[in-house]
Structure 1
């Protein structure tokens, strides 16, 4: 086996070791058992310029990595952070572009799965009220399809008085907001006493 074949395997091995180490922490997002769970501590390896301390909790729909699935690339993630994120449309656009650029540029690759993201992610948001934002992110699925991906996203913010943490909840799917997957995403709740 050549070094060019060994290096991707080492990267994937380290990636999964890191995820499994972080997954020892209980996920605050309550979902069905068939929704895959990940827990990652800030700073996020793929988006270190996001200057928060805290934890990201993630729940992936069962069909997340299957292009033709009804729930393809649909997931929920929660930032439980110490700092007030001081959300605005401009700040969310900037942070989501950083987040998705980093995520797609660090997707695990193998020798047979080489892929360079052809352009930077672009995000657009509108403020619904003081705690809810709705937007779209144009990016690429560097994990499975290698195609352009247009994601709809709803963000809900609240401050937890009991834990003194800021909670930013992200519901994400390429499906339109009227699609039934959004009912499933909305059923995922934060399991913490605030």
Structure 2
């Protein structure tokens, strides 16, 4: 065996295997580099009654966990799911109340007695706007009121339903919404 031929082959193989891993495990939400990334598999551990299969892709703003930051608790997440969520205002309200109550109680030493309340209005067949009154058990340990935009679509090429959430305590005219609106989904869905 020729050592000088084997070593370069090994590095090429290693390089391509790393590329493959990044392609298959990457976050579908394209965001600036300073936005933290997370991917969670359904069923969600903190909200197992949301009966979907698929993935949740999350992008947290740089100041998400900083209580005095302008972009505190501002983030975008995508449900890439197999089932048609058949969204209505009432269904979104119930599912996001379950989701945020689960998050609140999933935090260690969380003895919060408050319940999340969500309110949504349908703008058109694929867009809802609303408000979520919940609790920040991560940083401030206080109630937080989130403005929310939810859009849904179907990706034919992937055979997946996509539900995209934008959330922030800031009003919809604040600069953080412009930043969140630039976050896109990295899928070819034509």
TM surpasses 0.5? yes
What 5-or-longer segments of structure 2 have no aligned partner? 1-23
SS in 1 for 2:90: helix
The alpha carbon displacement at 1:117 in A equals 1.6
2:149 counterpart residue number: 154
The alpha carbon displacement at 1:115 in A equals 3.7
The alpha carbon displacement at 1:83 in A equals 0.2
* Aligned-partner Cα distance in 2 for 1:106–1:49: 14
Q: Deviations over 1:24-59 (max 9, x none)?
A: 821000011110000000000000000000000000
Residues 66-81 of structure 1 correspond to what in structure 2 (within 5 A)?
A: 66-81=66-81
Instruction: After the TM superposition, list the runs of 4 or more consecutive aligned residues in structure 1 that deviate by more than 2 angstroms.
Output: none
TM-score, normalised relative to structure 2: 0.86
SS in 1 for 2:78: strand
2:50 counterpart residue number: 50
What 5-or-longer segments of structure 1 have no aligned partner? 1-23
Whether the aligned pair in 2 keeps the contact of 1:115 and 1:146 (CA below 8 Å) is no
1:93 counterpart residue number: 93
TM-score, normalised relative to structure 1: 0.84
The alpha carbon displacement at 1:97 in A equals 0.2
1:142 counterpart residue number: 137
| Alignment coverage as a number of residue pairs | 166
2:111 counterpart residue number: 116
* Aligned-partner Cα distance in 1 for 2:25–2:52: 18
Whether the aligned pair in 2 keeps the contact of 1:101 and 1:120 (CA below 8 Å) is yes
Higher Cα radius of gyration: 2
Whether the aligned pair in 1 keeps the contact of 2:30 and 2:186 (CA below 8 Å) is yes
Deviates more, 1:172-181 or 1:114-123: 114-123
